[in-house]
Amino acid sequence: MISFDALPHLPGCYLFKDDQENVIYVGKARDLKKRVANYFQKQDHGPKTGALVAAVRGLEFIVTNTEVEALLLENTLIKKHLPRYNIKLKDSSRYAGIELTEEKFPRIRISRKATGQGSFFGPFTSARERTFVYQLLRKTFGLRTCKRLPKRACLRYHLGHCTGPCIGKIDEAEYQERVSRAVYALGGKTKELLVSLQEKMADLSQRQEFERAIQMREEIYALARLQERQQVEKNRRYDQDVISYLVDGSSVFLMLFKVYRGTLEGKEDYVFAHSENFLEEFLVQYYSEKEPPEELIMDEPLETSIVDFLTYQKGKKVRVTVPKQGEKRELLDLAKKNVEIGFFGDRQKLVALQEALRLPVRPEVIECFDISHLAGTSTVGSMVQFRGGRPDKSNYRRFRIKDVQGIDDFASIAEVVRRRYTRLIEDAQEMPNLIIIDGGKGQLAIALGELQGLRLKIPIISLAKSEEEIYAPGLDGPLDIRRDEKASLYVQEIRDEAHRFAIAYNRLLRKKAITD
């Protein structure tokens, strides 16, 4: 069941996921909470939307500053994930850019693909602005638009909109110079280009080449106009990662924004245990498996040794920027806003669960166990850990059942609980604040017996699938908690994740057995 508590009344994008954690739909909203809630409150959906709602098992969201930012981010996420409920619904033409082809006499055109040969500039969030820039540049610099050079001049040449490379009215060197000026303008270097053209115009006037000077003056007027209205995003040649975090008690909530050539591509969020050097440990672990970007945007500088490590992993210099103002500061603030919104939404779940179960401390760390098998074969156990209200996948564990033959969920639960906490005791590691068992009173009693055998006093409950009833030790019946209450929904979320993780491992073992 989807919980809307963490969703804010802010613009942004939402990602619906299925039971395999695949993104099946990406949408944008002026108000995330109202838009997402509408899917599940409305009853008269069409066939396609109804099928989408029935398939949704998970939700993720990214907050943006404006609806326009959400529009562009939505397009980027759709291209990245290719969700099956989006593919035929979205038209990416509004996000086209401007391309200068890789030819002897390059042509200028509107393009939707930023890959392959040639130079691509954009994407534009406004089709009107894109058309304005495109028309201004092709007329100002006389660039051709034809797919193949014709054998005689076309109407555009006679109108003065093309320099006529097809009939030899301009040589390759001069044409390439015009292309270079167009690249400068599209790359946002209009100011530098204007200074250079003004110097050339003055030089032409001194040499009394008045006709060329007048042409140069027209270019200057057009570029000055472009400078005032230009809305194209800068096509950076490098990627950036933006990292922001919050520390609360024993947990760290970290948000990482992936910015690809100036466009926000998506986010990754992590929750892990706080330690003295947690940030350095995170960076080393994360970038040992993934190539670092050329620039890291953060709230604080890094030690030289960490920067050297990132540079070594990248193969060239990695910059660490601590912005005080400007566009990079805005990106960092947006990442921090997403951390705060997600953090406080998760905090509400923890408080609700603590109150419902009357726990002495807030259940920051919760571990949940599940058993999966197919007719008694390939029996496995899973343990997932939620920290600060979110999955901490670095602490997930899976167990291949060793001591149990056939179908015996009680004995299997006993084995995995015993193995898990025996290991924690031996390694002197942190114990959870709450344990959840997938099952009813029987599974709960077995797990409690194992904890008592290890002399551990950890709050423990179980969740029965049929009516989503929560059981606690010492009570004959379930707790008086409705299945749609915030506390129950959170327990269900954790149980569903343990179930998914167990099934995935069971399938892996069966596949391996068939292969062998």
- The full set of domain ranges for the chain reads 12-86, 95-229, 240-354, 358-515
CATH topology of domain 358-515: Nucleotidyltransferase; domain 5 (3.30.420)
pLDDT value at residue 340:
82
Contact residues for 438 (Cβ-Cβ < 8 A; gap 6+): 368, 369, 370, 371, 462, 463, 465, 495, 498, 499
Per DSSP, helices labelled H in 230-295 are 278-289
Q: Which residues of the chain have pLDDT under 70?
A: 1-5, 87-95, 112-116, 122-130, 132, 187-197, 215-216, 218-219, 221-238, 261-263, 375-377, 513, 516
pLDDT value at residue 366:
95
CATH number of 240-354: 3.30.420.10
Distance set, CA 205 to CA 3, 199, 209 (Å): 71, 10, 6
pLDDT value at residue 432:
94
Q: How far apart are CA 490 and CA 345, in angstroms?
A: 12
Domains 12-86 and 358-515 share a fold: no
pLDDT value at residue 167:
82
Closest by CA position to 240, among listed 223, 222, 215, 257: 257
State both tokens at 123: 């994407």
What pTM did the predictor assign?
0.54
The per-residue pLDDT for range 344-402, each reduced to its tens digit, is: 777 888 999 999 999 999 999 999 999 887 765 678 889 999 998 888 888 999 988 88
Q: In degrees, to the nearest 5, what angle opens at C-alpha 316 toward C-alphas 311 and 322?
A: 55
State both tokens at 74: 């939505």
Burial-class residue 82 by CB neighbours within 10 Å (0-12, 13-18, 19+).
exposed
CATH number of 12-86: 3.40.1440.10
pLDDT value at residue 88:
47
